[in-house]
Amino acid sequence: MSISRPIPPLPSPDAAVFLDFDGTLVDLARTPDSVVLPPELVPVLRSLHILLDGALAIVTGREVAVVDRYIEPLRLPCAGTHGAQRRDGRGVYISSPATDPTKFVDAIVQLAQDNPSIFMESKKCSIALHYRADPTLETLCLQAMQELLLDHPDWTLVRGKYVVEVLPKGASKGAAIKAFMQEPPFKGRRPFFAGDDLSDESGFGVVRELQGVGIKVGAGMSIARHRIDSVQDFHRWLHKACAQLQAMRKKEVMR
């Protein structure tokens, strides 16, 4: 059931904008490597980054290096692998202490081999099982991951749309946004965060605590106070945000 929520306001020049990637900037696809980035998106992100004086960051389940490849030549501040990796506004790279998921690989590889509809995504700081090709495999994937973590209390489980993932404990999009907000150029600004999935809810919670704007993209329950119906509608919102910020900057220059 979807709850009607107001369209979000546009950011002012003193905003800090945080954006999820899959399901927010790009439509979800059958596998992570088959998403398509619209060609006009990189110029919009570049403009927003300039207009916000650098206070624009990607906060995603993807690895930072993967995001870089999609949005090159941009190198935005970025929290990857749900916050287990982070590149701050100065370009300094920070990683979670518990970052070696290789102990889980053998069991997960076997599960994927036994079930060809499961796609295993191996990252430096996590491992994810995608079952979008066969949603009936949700319980199998969830139980397998839960069993893996029984003897590893320094790791945790995060769920998303047709995906379940093991992460270093303490890593979350909310924690990443909170860290960004304590540093320049984000510090002292009003945060905006747009996301579409369960893993984005921690980010919405932090943004709410900071009197910011949470934007749920697509259907589904959420604590975000604002909603945009689709990725395409969110792209239109980004274009409007750019236009308003440009107009405000021009007006300020003319004073």
Report in angstroms the alpha-carbon separations of 120 from 129, 166, 221, 227, 249: 5, 12, 27, 31, 46
Q: What is the pLDDT of residues 85-101, one digit of tens each?
A: 999 999 999 877 656 78
| Burial call 35-52: b when 16+ CB within 10 Å, e when fewer | beeeeebeebbbbbbebb
Question: Hey, what amino acid is at 3?
Answer: I
pLDDT at 97: 67
Q: What is the pLDDT of residues 139-148, one digit of tens each?
A: 999 999 999 8
What's the pTM?
0.91
| % of the chain with per-residue pLDDT over 70 | 96
pLDDT at 1: 39
pLDDT at 122: 86
Query: Between 239 and 5, where is the model more confident?
Result: 239
Q: pLDDT band for position 153 (50/70/90)?
A: confident
> Any idea which residues carry the catalytic annotation?
20
Strand partners, 156: 167
pLDDT at 99: 67
| % of the chain with per-residue pLDDT over 90 | 76
Average pLDDT of the chain to the nearest whole number: 92
Q: What is the pLDDT of residues 180-231, one digit of tens each?
A: 999 999 999 999 999 999 999 999 999 999 999 999 999 999 999 999 999 9
Identify which of 30, 26, 57 has the alpha carbon closest to the alpha carbon of residue 41.
Answer: 26
Q: What is the pLDDT of residues 62-80, one digit of tens each?
A: 999 999 999 999 999 999 9
pLDDT at 2: 45
pLDDT at 218: 96
53: helix, strand or coil: coil
